[in-house]
Amino acid sequence: MTNWIREMLSAFSGQIDSKKALHAISIALVLIAFMWSCNATGKMESGKSPVWPATSSNPNGFEEENASFRYEANTQGNGYFVNYMYAQAGNVELKNYGHGSGSINNEAILTYQNLTRKTHNAYSDYNDFDQNCIQFKEDNVMTYAPMIIAIGNGYYAASPLDYESLLKEKTWVKNYRGGSSMHHEVDYAHALNKELEITAKETFNYTYDPEKKGDGYTRMNINEDVTDGKAHIGILKAGKDLSNVLGRTDLTGDVVMFTTGWKKPAIVIDEDYFGIYHIERNITLDVPYYLKQSGDDWLPCCYGGFSSMTSKDQGYLGKSTKGIFDCTCFKAPATAQFPRTHFLR
């Protein structure tokens, strides 16, 4: 930036050199155009590519945003504990919650990916691609015990708090692309030794406008021992109302909640256990989706006639235009409609 300023100053200092002046002005114009184009396309953000809209001068429109997250936790100790975890990527959601008093030995890993890619090429079909994934793995050993804890150096130091909270852990995962929900909960337990692993993934590939591909994959594996408590397992797969949906968000990005699908499920599993139990569950649900449809870019005028058009096209045109597209509105006259006129020279 400073070089071309110096060059402009030197060009116009003293006697004007036309060659230097023209050269400096051309450099300035190029830099101004470059700065204007950068401002028009937006700022660069972490994990996000710039937007290049498809135009006649730039036909390859492309935009990509790829967010990723990883969380690792390792906790041991005695006292009162409470934790809350929530993650949402596209059409998949995860929630994990727990609390209790006593001892805890916990290891947990949460990974997250949210990928959106748009390719809007002016000379080919537009394409939108989404890939979202949440994975959660936990190894947790908890033992209940009443705890008296002195906090700070004021009133609660002289009057310690008494915690007598039985153990609770609640985890659910939802995949709107596959219309599925899985839920696991342990409540009022005196001891819990649990290994839990969850994977929720969805992909959606939309090529405007003939083809749509989607897949909703959900897995939950449980291996646990519950002592003097309640264990609940719930699984839900939506019925046919959700067999061909786009997902939690439509093409415009607005949230769409498909409540009718949950009211008429295809699969329902509801389990409750009270007491002392060893529980193992390996649950996998995969729901792929594929749709291919094509339509005429042009009306079939004088090819198959009005009757060969789709009902949608016929509705747009109306029955009054049938003769035009059947090519039957014109009939060659048998005789001249107007008599010949002879002009005298």
pLDDT digits (tens, 9 = 90+) for 143-174: 999 999 888 888 888 889 899 999 999 999 99
Residue 69 tokens read as 């997250």
d(CA 257, CA 250): 10
pLDDT of 77: 95
Q: Are 133 and 112 in contact (CB under 8 A)?
A: yes
Closest C-alpha to 328, from 307, 308, 305:
305
Report the C-alpha gap between 335 and 237 in whole angstroms: 73
CB 96 within 8 A of CB 206: no
For 123-247, strand residue ranges (E) read: 127-144, 147-149, 161-163, 167-175, 180-189, 191-207, 211-238
Q: Quote the DSSP letter at residue 344.
A: P
| Category of 275 on φ-ψ map: left (φ > 0), alpha (ψ -120 to 50) or beta | left
Cα dist. 19→5, 13, 16, 23, 33 in Å?
Answer: 16, 14, 9, 6, 21
Structure tokens at 284: 């996998």
pLDDT for the residue numbered 303:
52
Tokens for 248?
A: 């939690």
Residue 287 in tokens: 């729901």
CA 267/CA 75 separation, integer angstroms: 37
* Residue 325 binned pLDDT confidence (cut-offs 50, 70, 90): low
Q: Are 187 and 168 in contact (CB under 8 A)?
A: yes
175-233 pLDDT tens trace: 988 888 999 999 999 999 999 999 999 999 988 878 888 899 999 999 999 999 999 99
Lowest mean pLDDT across 25-29, 125-129, 301-305: 25-29
Structure tokens at 226: 């519950």
CB 186 within 8 Å of CB 227: no
pTM: predicted TM-score of the whole model, two decimal places: 0.67
* pLDDT tens per residue, range 3-50: 444 444 444 444 445 444 444 444 444 343 333 333 333 333 345 455
Q: How far apart are CA 203 and CA 129, in angstroms?
A: 8
Query: Under DSSP, is residue 294 helix (H, G, I), strand (E, B) or coil?
Result: coil
Residue 123 has pLDDT above 70, yes or no: yes
